[in-house]
Amino acid sequence: MSLTTDDVKRVARLARIAIDDQEAQATLAQFSGIFRLIGEMQSIDVANIEPMSHAQDVMLRLRDDAVTEIDQRAEFQSIAPQVEAGLYLVPKVIE
Amino acid sequence: MLHATLKTLSDGLAAGKFSSTEISKYFINKINKLNKAYNCFITLDEEKSLTQARAADALRAAGHAQPLTGVPIAQKDIFCAKGWLTTCGSKMLSNFVSPYDAHVIERFNAAGAVNLGKTNMDEFAMGSSNETSFYGPVKNPWDTTTVPGGSSGGSAAAVAARLAPAATGTDTGGSIRQPAALTGICGLKPTYGVVSRYGMIAFASSLDQAGPMARSAEDLALMLNVMAGFDARDSTSLLRDAEDYTGDLTRPLKGLRIGLPKEFVAEGVAPDVLKNIETAIAEYRKLGCEVVEVSLPNMALSVPVYYVLAPAEASSNLSRFDGVRYGYRAKDYTNLTDMYEKTRAEGFGAEVKRRILIGTYVLSHGYYDAYYIRAQKLRRLIARDFTEAFKQCDLIMGPTSPTTAFKLGEKAGDPVQMYLSDIYTIAVNLAGLPGMSVPCGFDGKGLPVGLQIIGNYFSEVRMLNAAHQYQLATDWHTRAPAGIDTP
């Protein structure tokens, strides 16, 4: 499977990580080794096998629809980069 | 005091030989003198630690002491601890003072233990050498030109260097067991779901487990008694009857069946490592065990499967680090997307970024079935291999790591070489089984070798029994590196 720097940049955009041309090249070089390793999976027959996402095949527990958390906004926001009036501030999205 | 185990400290405190304040000061003093040489601690807070020590002494005086009350324990910097800087070894959290305690921290606090400080680790637990930390590499106390292993390298080095009698670690692909092996200490990863992951910064949620690191099986058991148990805040936490992990340490091993997977030897172990494993197995025969050959036919797939699943889960877990609510935020940015992209490019190190990108790729449209779903299916095959093997044996044993501690920088340039050092540990996480490492000897250069013991689901009591009996017959676990005894 052959990746290009365009693939690397596309994936970086999806992951919201800035990457310049030089880094994309370097990353591509390392990726070939890693994808060769991962490629070892491809030759195995996986027909009729259920995917395993969890070691113990448990069900998600349910609980009563009741409030259990307390309001800790002030404490949690005390370590935020920028807050005002209980809101987290970020660059304007909508003009 | 230098070589005191948790057991001797606990007994000494109970007998009034010393106070928690005294022993905490002793270890803090050692850390102040020696941490620079090994770089095992990221954060220390003498005042907080001693406040806990004094509270523990008061608890004891009032007659409310538990086994680990007053005992100082180092905490891997992946556990959120209220009021403590919790960095996960990353620039991204280099300013994050946690507003809450992880379940594991709560448990140790409730047990009256003393938080000795936060230990260094590979960034976001991604690494096998503790070389990816934003806070610099940890040095192996046995040879400071070598790595201690990772990602719980700081915890391992601290215990090996006697800067802490015990520490917590986490293990996603071997990150407790491998550093334990490389530093000559004991480490255990419990069955998945036994220790709550609440407040433990997530790397790969279906693989991560917290566990104890100490210098004896008995100490591991004492710690697991504190750490294990149901927590409703972790949706993968298992509701089970409480177990006393110290309960069966003294049982004789006669008749215990040990399985040796033939694939463990076929994969290129260093000769010195193999020799020590063989000697350890011979010791187990002397203790009355039967040894049978077993097979884990799909074991070779575990590295590629892991390096699809773990990065995929990591890419999801680390998407929360965006500079909005806590942690690092880039200084200059134009719009929101730019803020996210620069924050994450600057806040994460190279290995973390690499894994996030791989994970994003294997989850993306057009590749999800070919990579992620395929890996999930192979995961089931790997887990089934163990279930089959455990029909013929009670415990599986083999090397924890194919080599002893390698040189700093030796594998850092080649990610694939680094990934292959996890070859014996990874399958255990994929299957969700319990695994541990105990010291079993040294190589020709005086570097420790670890014996891995793998049990069936929920067999920690039996594993600890097997390790304890071995430690009554041998003394590898008592050996210490040179240079740790400060005036």
Which pLDDT tens digit goes with each residue over B180-197? 999 999 999 999 999 999
Token representation of residue B155: 């915890």
pLDDT at B112 over 60: yes
Residue B114 pLDDT: 98
pLDDT digit string, tens, across residues B281-294: 999 999 999 999 99
Residue with tokens 């089984």: B433
pLDDT at B350 over 90: yes
- CA distances, B170 to each of B76, B193, B201, B447 (Å): 8, 13, 10, 23
**Of residues B367, B161, B11, B274, the one with CA closest to residue A11:** B367
**Of residues B422, B10, B430, B396, the one with CA closest to residue B204:** B430
Residue A32 pLDDT: 86
Q: How confident is the model at residue B487 (pLDDT cuts 50, 70, 90)?
A: low
Residue B105 pLDDT: 98
Calpha distance A21→B103 (Å, rounded): 43
What proportion of chain B, given as a percentage, has pLDDT over 70? Answer: 99
Cβ contacts from A onto B, under 8 A: 162
Q: How confident is the model at residue B266 (pLDDT cuts 50, 70, 90)?
A: low
Average pLDDT on B84-100 reads: 98
Q: How confident is the model at residue B486 (pLDDT cuts 50, 70, 90)?
A: low
Among B357, B377, B415, whose Cβ lies nearest the Cβ of A46?
B377
Calpha distance B229→B415 (Å, rounded): 36
Looking at B130-134, B282-286, B482-486, which range is the least confident one?
Answer: B482-486
Give me the DSSP letters along B425-439.
Answer: THHHHHHT--EEEEE
Which chain A residues are within 8 Å of B334, Cβ to Cβ?
91
Cα three-residue angle B283-B287-B291, rounded to 5 degrees: 70
Instruction: Name the average pLDDT for chain A.
Output: 90
Catalytic residue positions of B? 76, 151, 175
Cα three-residue angle B411-B276-B291, rounded to 5 degrees: 120
**CA of A68: which chain B residue's CA is closest?**
B233
Q: Angle at which helices B153-160 and B20-38 pack, to 10 degrees?
A: 120
Calpha distance B52→B20 (Å, rounded): 9
Q: Which residues fall within 8 angstroms of residue B219, CB to CB, at 6 or more apart?
A: B5, B6, B7, B165, B166, B186, B212
Q: Is A51 on the interface with B (CB under 8 A)?
A: yes
pLDDT at B334 over 90: yes
Alpha helices (H) along B319-435: 336-347, 350-363, 374-389, 415-420, 426-431
CA distance B75 to chain A (A): 22
Q: Is A39 on the interface with B (CB under 8 A)?
A: yes
**Residue contact B379–A81, C-beta within 8 A:** no
**Residue contact A51–B235, C-beta within 8 A:** no
Which chain B residues are within 8 Å of A37, Cβ to Cβ?
303-304, 307, 416, 419
Q: Which residues fall within 8 angstroms of residue B392, CB to CB, at 6 or more apart?
A: B257, B259, B292, B294
pLDDT at B416 over 60: yes
What proportion of chain B, given as a percentage, has pLDDT over 90? Answer: 93
Looking at A57-61, A85-89, B5-9, B157-161, which range is the least confident one?
Answer: A57-61
- How far separated are the first and last CA of chain A, in Å rounded? 42
Instruction: Name the average pLDDT for chain B.
Output: 96
pLDDT digit string, tens, across residues B437-470: 999 999 999 999 999 999 999 999 999 999 999 9
Residue B379 pLDDT: 96
Domains and CATH numbers, chain B: 6-256 (3.90.1300.10)
Average pLDDT on B60-70 reads: 97
Instruction: State the number of CA atoms in the 13 A half-sphere of B11 facing the CB.
Output: 7
pLDDT digit string, tens, across residues A46-87: 989 999 988 777 888 998 999 999 999 999 999 999 999 999
Residue B268 pLDDT: 74
Per-window interface: B 283-312 vs A, CB < 8 A: 298, 300-301, 303-305, 307-308
> What ipTM was predicted for this assembly?
0.94
pLDDT at A1 over 80: no
Residue with tokens 């049990």: B455
Which chain B residues are within 8 Å of A30, Cβ to Cβ?
354, 415
pLDDT at B267 over 70: no
**Of residues B237, B144, B205, B149, the one with CA closest to residue B482:** B144
CA distance B9 to chain A (A): 36
Average pLDDT on B62-67 reads: 96
Q: Is B251 on the interface with A (CB under 8 A)?
A: no
Q: Is B356 on the interface with A (CB under 8 A)?
A: yes
Average pLDDT on B20-32 reads: 97
